[in-house]
């Protein structure tokens, strides 16, 4: 059982080393712990183990060694993980609504805590959460800039703003949910709130660059 604030409702059994059983509130708690520890965006294995242990103090299994580190460790060095990719990926595969997940991910990238995102922050948010989804699920192709620019353009166009302006988080949350619904409809997908569907919506499932036989 995770170390959460009182009042959080659980609908399924939480398994220590299976983030798909975690609630979005567990991922939120990891983020708060990350912020409280003044950690950077690059996390070493010891750091992320300390963060996870604070939320799951009674864990019998090692989710960092079993899942997070093998899937998220940087490919070029293997010495650290990108904290935002981890949090974004864990949010996507966690138990929660699409609206809640969108809200959480957007707040991750409100670096100045002003309640809105710039064009560049929206691009980075989309790149990072989609990459996190690929790494968490070991499915799809890691996104490139050209994969998300059209979506960022759409977000600002729908908000009636140009790329030099900022869009409030609530507008971006509504845009993201509507965008996913539109993309699902265009691709004749019936379910729009699974990690697999998210990758299909953003056309990242043509081929996988992540081996299935890795841990």
When mean pLDDT is compared across 16-25, 109-118, 154-163, the lowest value belongs to: 16-25
pLDDT given at position 75: 60
pLDDT given at position 13: 78
Q: Is the pLDDT assigned to residue 212 strictly greater than 80?
A: no
pLDDT given at position 1: 35
Computed on alpha carbons and rounded to an integer, the radius of gyration of the chain in Å comes to 17
Q: Is the pLDDT assigned to residue 100 strictly greater than 90?
A: yes
* C-beta of residue 152 within 8 angstroms of C-beta of residue 126: yes
Which two tokens mark 187? 């691709």
Q: Is 81 exposed, middle or buried (0-12, 13-18, 19+ CB in 10 A)?
A: buried
Q: Is 106 exposed, middle or buried (0-12, 13-18, 19+ CB in 10 A)?
A: buried
Per the prediction, the chain carries an average pLDDT of: 87
| pLDDT digit string, tens, across residues 127-174 | 999 999 999 999 999 999 999 999 999 999 999 999 999 999 999 999
pTM of the model: 0.87
pLDDT given at position 6: 35
78, 93, 110, 165 from 88: Cα distances, Å? 19, 9, 14, 24
Q: CA-to-CA distance for 79 and 43, rounded, in angstroms? A: 8
Q: Kindly state the DSSP code that residue 19 receives in the 8-state scheme.
A: G
Q: Is the pLDDT assigned to residue 57 strictly greater than 80?
A: yes
Three-class secondary structure of residue 42 per DSSP: strand
- Provide the percentage of residues in the chain whose pLDDT is more than 70: 87
Go through 53-78 and write b for each residue having 16 or more CB atoms within 10 A of its CB, e for each that does not: bbbbeebeeebbeebbbebbbeeeee
Q: CA-to-CA distance for 76 and 22, rounded, in angstroms? A: 29
Q: Is the pLDDT assigned to residue 8 strictly greater than 50?
A: no
When mean pLDDT is compared across 56-70, 151-165, 199-213, the lowest value belongs to: 199-213
pLDDT class of 207 with cuts at 50, 70, 90: very low
pLDDT given at position 78: 67
pLDDT given at position 115: 97
Q: Is the pLDDT assigned to residue 5 strictly greater than 50?
A: no
């Amino acid at each position: 059982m995770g170390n959460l604030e009182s009042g959080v409702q659980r609908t399924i059994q939480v398994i220590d080393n299976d983030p798909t059983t975690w609630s979005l509130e567990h991922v939120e708690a990891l983020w708060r712990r990350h912020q409280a520890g003044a950690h950077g965006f690059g996390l070493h294995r010891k750091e992320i183990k300390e963060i996870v242990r604070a939320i799951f103090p009674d864990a019998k299994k090692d989710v960092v060694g079993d899942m997070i580190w093998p899937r998220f460790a940087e490919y070029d060095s293997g010495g650290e993980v990108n904290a935002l990719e981890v949090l974004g990926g864990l949010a996507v595969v966690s138990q929660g609504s699409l609206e809640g997940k969108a809200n959480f991910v957007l707040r991750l990238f409100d670096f100045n805590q002003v309640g809105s995102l710039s064009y560049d922050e929206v691009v980075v948010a989309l790149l990072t959460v989609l990459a996190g989804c690929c790494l968490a699920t070991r499915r799809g192709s890691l996104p490139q800039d050209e994969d998300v620019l059209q979506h960022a353009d759409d977000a600002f166009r729908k908000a009636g703003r140009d790329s030099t302006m900022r869009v409030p988080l609530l507008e971006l949350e509504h845009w993201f949910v509507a965008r996913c619904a539109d993309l699902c409809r265009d691709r004749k997908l019936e379910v729009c709130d699974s990690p697999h569907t998210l990758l299909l919506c953003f056309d990242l499932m043509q081929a996988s660059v992540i081996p299935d036989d890795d841990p």
